[in-house]
Amino acid sequence: MAMTDLLSAEDIKKAVGAFTATDSFDHKKFFQMVGLKKKSADDVKKVFHILDKDKSGFIEEDELGFILKGFSPDARDLSVKETKTLMAAGDKDGDGKIGVD
């Protein structure tokens, strides 16, 4: 399944384009811009599984740095600071990875 099967290609393009500068990534704004806030829990889980490149059931910090590429292959990598901020927001139990729930 491709990301564009779940989210609008135009929304993805706009969201990725809005955060091209290093250290400008805001996960809340990004996820809103791509339309995830409007999606069902099932669709959000499908997006998660697309982003989980190693299919471990978790998104680890090394995968998280490339999260924008999961939406658009030509997107930039997150900086270390952005990656750590996103991990802190998503890692609710402190185990160093983000689960689907």
Residues annotated as binding site? 52, 54, 56, 58, 63, 91, 93, 95, 97
Q: Helix (H, G, I), strand (E, B), or coil: what is residue 59?
A: strand
- Given a contact cutoff of 8 angstroms between Cβ atoms, the answer to whether 33 and 72 are in contact is no
Binding-site residues for Ca(2+), in ranges, read 52, 54, 56, 58, 63, 91, 93, 95, 97
DSSP 14-46: HHHHHT-STT---HHHHHHHTTGGGS-HHHHHH
